[in-house]
Amino acid sequence: MNIDSSLWAYFINAGIVVKLVLLLLVGASIASWTYILQRALYIKEMRQSTQQFEHTFWSGGDLSEMYANSQRQKSAVQGMEAIFMAGFKEFLRLHKQVCVTAEEMMESAKRAMKVAQMREQDKLEMQLPLLATVGSTSPYIGLFGTVWGIMLSFRALAHAQQATITMVAPGIAEALVATAMGLFAAIPAVIAYNRCATEIGRLLNRFDAFQEEFANILFRQAQQKIGQAEMAR
């Protein structure tokens, strides 16, 4: 309780500029923590759905049945499953056409999967620049509040007949709270940004690997289809 009362006293006794700096840093900290928790839950959900889809995909089931099951889902598909649906939908569209080579089918499906992955990447990286901004600017904002508070303390000291450390110590202490608050907002944001970037990078690598493997599967199916058509002639 003493610590809370002391911090509150620092805020109350601070100048208007320092107060605005502290309020800005508190808002930035709240926003970053909200995003940190939201991103942590979303990335965890994306990782679990990716693992579940990979297990289903590599279990050897029929791709058409898997595609139909994904379409029947009430909730929107995401992650690797969304990439699969985009690629297989394009493959089925071209599969029904005549005079389409296997290479054309594969390239068209890969483009569709690439677009789907870009959408999923946008979802994963949504508001990620916010953490980078908070982490990079909060220390400087806090430092600005500290410099401003110390400047006012020394300015008041210039008008005193007898200068003592006790006259400027409270003002300097109040100003240093701004620096501490800047670090309090910046450190979690930087750690969370690096963590999120690492997890997103791993997911994107898995998406890239899946695209290549799935494209090879579609290429073999396209060659089979073309071979059967030629034999039918």
The alpha-carbon radius of gyration of the chain (Å, integer) is 29
Element spanning 125, H or E: none
pLDDT on residue 1: 37
Angle at which helices 165-232 and 128-158 pack, to 10 degrees?
Answer: 170
Q: What DSSP designation does 160 have? A: -
Report the Cα 185 to chain-centroid distance in Å: 18
∠ at Cα 157 (156, 160), nearest 5°? 100
Instruction: Take residue 111 and report the two structure tokens written for it.
Output: 């483009």
User: CA-to-CA distance for 166 and 175, rounded, in angstroms?
Assistant: 15
Residue 182's nearest CA partner among 144, 233, 231 is: 144
Question: Which pairs with CB-CB distance under 8 Å and at least 24 residues apart come from 217-223?
Answer: 217/63, 218/87, 218/88, 218/91, 218/105, 218/106, 218/109, 219/102, 219/103, 219/105, 219/106, 221/63, 221/91, 222/91, 222/95, 222/101, 222/102, 222/105, 222/106, 223/102
Tell me the C-alpha to C-alpha distance, in Å, between residue 219 and each of 60, 134, 211, 213: 17, 46, 12, 10
- Residue by residue, pLDDT tens for the chain (233 residues) are 344 446 666 666 667 887 888 889 999 999 999 999 999 999 999 999 999 999 988 887 788 888 888 888 767 788 999 999 999 998 888 877 767 777 888 888 899 999 999 999 999 998 899 999 999 999 999 988 888 888 877 776 666 666 566 666 666 777 788 888 899 999 999 999 999 999 999 999 999 999 999 988 888 887 776 666 555 55
Q: Helices then strands (H, E): number in the chain?
A: 7, 0
